Structure 1
Amino acid sequence: MSTAQHLDTVLLLCSREFPAEHGRWDGGFCGPGYHIAELAVFDGFRGGDCSEALEAREQYEAECVALSERLTKRWGLPVPVSLYSLLHRSMGDGEDIPEPWRMLSARVQDAQLWQTDERWVALGGSPWGEESPFQLLAAVTEVDPP
């Protein structure tokens, strides 16, 4: 997908109603107060080629930067956040972290946040570890970050 297509997906999610139940849609996950779009996923680590993984990492980082630039033009500078503490609080301390923040913290280390009129937009694109898939995720939510 191109940066323009990623942007279109984010903007569509900003205008879309939130469902009453947690579920999956053809491009990601959704539930009360949130949508998460899997903009791009590369899971070539399982038996994959290291050079292919390095190339995928570079591509996903470039896509994340390009989309971030487009979102910044629209909503101003993002707030960078580490999601590590949320993952630790959820898994280590057993705290109930609301969605989409729990799911995002389990999938990406860091995110950029923009606040629109009534919603938060989060963009993350880094894996947790060497064996984790590269994912470019966008979330649109009315749930404040914990």
Structure 2
Amino acid sequence: MTTAEHLDTIDRLRAREFPTGTEVLGEQRSGPGYHLVQLSRTRDFWDDDGSGRREAEDQISAEYGALTQAVADRWGEPQVFALGSLLARGLDGEGIPEPWLELSGMTDHVHVWRAGDRWLVVCVAQWGGELPLLLMAGLTVVDPP
């Protein structure tokens, strides 16, 4: 997908109401006060000697850079929000709200913008070392903890 298509997806999410319960629609997960969507993904790395991973990282990094710049052009410079402590706090039993808990399990940081009454989140995520890298976006009314 192109940066313009990613922005279109984000705009559609901004217009969508938040559900009262958790919903999964294809590559989109939504819940009370948030939407998360996978914009792009690399292949997995189960049978990779390292060269394919470097190429995939370069590709997703370029997409991430282009998207964060396009979003910055609309809403100004982002805040970079580290999530490492959220994961630790969640594992210690603290109630970390969604989507922040889910994001903290997938990435160590996110770029966030205040877009009207919502937070716009963009990140590169990965559930595990051999799994694909994911370009993700999210919208939430839940303030970063």
TM-score, normalised with respect to structure 2: 0.93
Residues 7-86 of structure 1 mapped to structure 2, 5 A cutoff: 7-86=7-86
Q: Tell me if the contact between 2:122 and 2:136 (Cα under 8 Å) persists in the aligned partners.
A: yes
Q: Tell me if the contact between 1:109 and 1:127 (Cα under 8 Å) persists in the aligned partners.
A: no
| In structure 2, C-alpha distance between the alignment counterparts of 1:24 and 1:17, rounded to whole Å | 14
Which residue does the alignment assign to 1:145?
Answer: 144
| In structure 2, C-alpha distance between the alignment counterparts of 1:18 and 1:7, rounded to whole Å | 19
Counterpart residue type for residue 67 of structure 2? L
Which residue does the alignment assign to 1:131?
Answer: 130
| In structure 2, C-alpha distance between the alignment counterparts of 1:58 and 1:140, rounded to whole Å | 25
Counterpart residue type for residue 79 of structure 1? Q
Following superposition, the deviation at residue 47 of structure 1 comes to 2.2
- Residues paired across the two proteins, number: 145
Q: Tell me if the contact between 2:44 and 2:130 (Cα under 8 Å) persists in the aligned partners.
A: no
Structure 2 gap ranges (5+): none
Give the secondary structure class of the aligned counterpart of 1:96. Answer: coil
**Identical columns (%):** 42
Structure 1 gap ranges (5+): none
Which is further off, 54-63 or 119-128?
A: 119-128
Give the secondary structure class of the aligned counterpart of 2:105. Answer: helix
Give the secondary structure class of the aligned counterpart of 1:48. Answer: coil
Q: Tell me if the contact between 2:44 and 2:131 (Cα under 8 Å) persists in the aligned partners.
A: no
Give the secondary structure class of the aligned counterpart of 1:113. Answer: strand
Once superposed, which parts of structure 1, at least 4 consecutive aligned residues long, lie more than 6 Å away? Answer: none
RMSD of equivalent CA atoms? 1.5
Following superposition, the deviation at residue 131 of structure 1 comes to 3.5
Give the secondary structure class of the aligned counterpart of 1:125. Answer: strand
